[in-house]
Amino acid sequence: MDIKSQEYTFGIGENYHLQDLLGSHIDEDGGAHFRVWAPNALNVEIIGDFTDWQSQPITMTKNESGIWYGYSEKAKCQDFYKYLVTRENGQKIEKIDPMATYFEARPGTCAILEKNKKFKWQDSLWMGRRKRFGFKERPVSIYEVHAGSWKRHSDGRSFTFTDLRNSLIPYLKKMNYTHIEFMPLMAHPLGLSWGYQLMGYFGFEHTYGHPDEFKAFVDECHKANIGILVDWVPGHFTQNDDALAYYDGTPTYEYQDPNRAHNIGWGAFNFDLGKNQVQSFLISSALYWIENFHIDGLRVDAVSNMLYLDYDQGPWTPNKNGEHTNLEGIAFLQKLNSVIKTYHPDVMMIAEEATSEIPITKAITDNGLGFDYKWNMGWMNDILRFYQYDPYYKQFDYYLLTFSFMYCFNENYILPFSHDEVVHGKKSMMHKMWGDRYNQFSGLRNLYAYQICHPGKKLLFMGSEYGQFLEWKSEEQLEWSNLEDDLNAKMQYFTSYINQFYKDNKPLWQIDDSYDGIEIIDADNKEESVLSFTRKDKNGNFLLCIFNMTPVERNHFTIGVPEAGIYEELINTEMKEFGGVWTQHNPKTKTREQSWRNYDQTLSFTLPAMGASIWKLKRRLKKKTIKSTK
């Protein structure tokens, strides 16, 4: 596509590879072209290593599209540069290149001139399988990671992706996760933001190494059959004055209306999602990460903030209908998902969204937003509240455990125990659990077994897999020394074991989007606080899943079961190898012909205290028939 055509599609919001038009482009014969969108600037100049900075700036020329063009024959690969923007009031300010793919190390914000080198990918087998099998009827167990604090060097430096390739990938394989999700990897000026206050939407965060290091990491993950998801923040951006904020001196990327532009709660600016050029910019960013880095999915952060005009603190301006929904935000998200699915239907689009007013994963043709998955924040809040209770009181709020069965297929869900739940005084996952240290680990194993068995894909934040006691600290590495404790080490082994169990058993993931995949046996046993249900696959195979929410071992516990036969216990969360006290499983058990609720077969066994027990039908038996006496 020629430049004029690229400018035209940019202006109508349909340029989805904007990096080919804007940004810096190094010539083969030396020198570099620069293009930046700043429609209301009085003047824009290029400054950098090749201009002795402001002493010899290069003047740029603006065209009718609001794009400034410039060229330097002295510019070369690895030079630092910025744009010097003269605003309407005559103020001059140094600004980042919004299209830069790499920036200098913090606290600097200079863009670095980079050649677009071809990377030799070796993940064709993975990419082919991804296209063929997709992800909806596949196991998805996600390990959520903050790249800067999973592990650190002894001097406190963050690991680069070369370091992570050599250490994190073997760990993912050991722990049997199917996917890893990284908190934002795009350039951000403050590490304490965890990457959620972005500056560079095409730039790889310098702290984590070079972009090619991340490509090598992704390539190695794919060869190990591990998918890569990355958090992406298209709703708001950092308010730092040298970044996108009021780029040309007027609202450029943000809304004109200050009520919509200013995100008071997060100290940020909201993107004007109705502006064509902003749509081109953001959708190009999403496709850039998917295509340039072979990303398998994006988790779109803070979707609620893009859907509701009154989501933030302070005053808000209603839409044209006098309502609180952000019509431009809804249209943008529908457009985003439509474009992504047109180019890459096998890429996973996930929404971090906590309301129920607007359907998130419904088809766009059915007035949904077209996401593949939505984080089930309601389930997460209810379940964590329930598991923290003293066991005696669980019977009174038993609905917290079972309420999700009323709506669990209204959307396609991911069940998240994310970073947000282990910071700001909320305590770590292990520390949330009731009781002494032994019971806390019992509760945690029970909780993770429940997450694995409940319909929906799974996500767990780093450190939670082995029961780290302290809250997550983004400026320090995880408390790996915890693994010197036997209970932590066994907790880690349990998580690895149950992740593999999840992958190996189709009933736990093949039907995750309808009641065809689950049958509730007993969701009313409040007095004993025991829940039981089956998970089923398309061939009629099923698993019995029973959860005891109190520290009381229940001998001769009886439930109804769908079929007569001999059942085998596959998982008992109170086994000694996991940190419990049981040295052997319940024996294989034959059903008894007996009426129990809607069932005519029952199974009796010992239900472990504060434990989960998962069973499989080992051998079917014919039901007895009663001969007529007539």
pLDDT digits (tens, 9 = 90+) for 19-53: 999 999 999 888 999 999 999 999 999 999 999 99
Chain-centre distance of CA 1, in angstroms? 34
**pLDDT for the residue 624:** 62
From the number of C-beta atoms within 10 Å of its C-beta (0-12, 13-18, 19+), residue 88 rates as exposed
Of 436, 454, 488, nearest to 610 by C-alpha is 436
Residues whose CB is less than 8 angstroms from the CB of residue 595 and which lie 6 or more positions away in sequence, other chains included = none
Report, as an integer, the average pLDDT of 456-467. Answer: 98
What does residue 542 show for φ and ψ, rounded to 5 degrees? -150, 160
Residue type, 206: H
Greatest alpha-carbon span in the chain: 111
- For 506, what's the count of Cα atoms within 13 Å in the CB-facing half-sphere? 9
Q: CA neighbours within 13 Å on the CB side: how many for 269?
A: 24
Residue type, 569: E
Burial class (CB in 10 A: 0-12, 13-18, 19+), 10: buried
Residue 628 pLDDT exceeds 60: no
d(CA 218, CA 121): 9
Alpha helices by DSSP H, 275-325: 276-292, 303-307
Q: Could you tell me if 509 and 138 are in contact, meaning their C-beta atoms sit under 8 angstroms apart?
A: yes
Q: Which two tokens stand for residue 16?
A: 């989805």
Q: Work out the burial of residue 628: count CB atoms within 10 Å of its CB; fewer than 13 is exposed, 13-18 middle, 19 or more buried.
A: exposed
Q: Tell me, what's the pLDDT at 314?
A: 87
The whole-angstrom separation of Cα 252 and Cα 245 is: 8
Outline where 297-436 has alpha helix (H).
303-307, 327-343, 377-388, 391-394, 399-402, 429-432
Q: What is the residue-wise DSSP string for 88-118?
A: TTS-EEEE--TT-SBBPSTT---EE----PP
> For position 629, what pLDDT does the model report?
42
Which of 39, 33, 116, 32 is CA-nearest to residue 85?
Answer: 39
Exposed e or buried b per residue across 17-46, where buried means at least 16 C-beta atoms within 10 angstroms of its C-beta: bbbebbbbbbeeeeebebbbbbeebbbbbb
Residue 23, SS3 per DSSP: strand
In tens, the pLDDT along 275-325 reads 999 999 999 999 999 999 999 999 999 999 999 999 998 899 999 999 999
- pLDDT digit string, tens, across residues 584-599: 999 999 999 999 999 9
The 3-state DSSP class for residue 195 equals coil
Number of H helices, E strands in the chain: 14, 31
Residues 72-128 pLDDT 10s: 999 999 999 999 999 989 999 999 999 999 999 999 999 999 988 899 999 999 999
The per-residue pLDDT for 111 is 98
- Note whether 38 and 252 are within 8 A (CB): yes
Catalytic pick from 45, 205, 352, 574? 352
How far apart (Å, rounded) are the C-alpha atoms in residues 464 and 10? 44
Residue 20 designated active-site: no
Asked if the bond preceding 189 is cis, omega within 30° of 0, the reply is no
Residue 625 has pLDDT above 70, yes or no: no
Strands 518-525 and 179-182: unpaired
**The one catalytic residue among 254, 301, 411, 574:** 301
Mind giving me the DSSP string for 580-607? SSBSSPPPPEE-EEEEETTEEEEEEEEE
Model pLDDT for residues 240-258, shown as the tens digit of each residue:
999 999 999 999 999 999 9
The rounded mean pLDDT for the chain is: 96
pLDDT at 541 > cutoff 90:
yes
CB 358 within 8 A of CB 307: yes
Dihedral angle sign, alpha carbons of residues 140, 144, 147, 153: negative
Any catalytic annotation for residue 73?
Answer: no
User: What does the pLDDT read at residue 25?
Assistant: 96
The tokens of 336 are what? 């985003």
User: Is 59 a residue whose pLDDT tops 70?
Assistant: yes
pLDDT digits (tens, 9 = 90+) for 509-524: 999 999 999 999 999 9
The pLDDT tens digits of the residues spanning 373-403 come to 999 999 999 999 999 999 999 999 999 999 9
CA pair distance 60, 35, nearest whole angstrom = 9
- Taking phi first (over 0 means left), then psi (-120 to 50 degrees means alpha), and beta for anything else, what does residue 529 get? left
- Tokens matching residue 217: 């990491």
Is it true that the peptide bond before 359 is cis, omega within 30 degrees of 0?
no
**Which two structure tokens, joined as six digits, stand for 240?**
């730092």
Angle at which helices 124-133 and 211-223 pack, to 10 degrees? 60
Show the domains of the chain with their CATH numbers: 3-113 (2.60.40.10), 515-620 (2.60.40.1180)
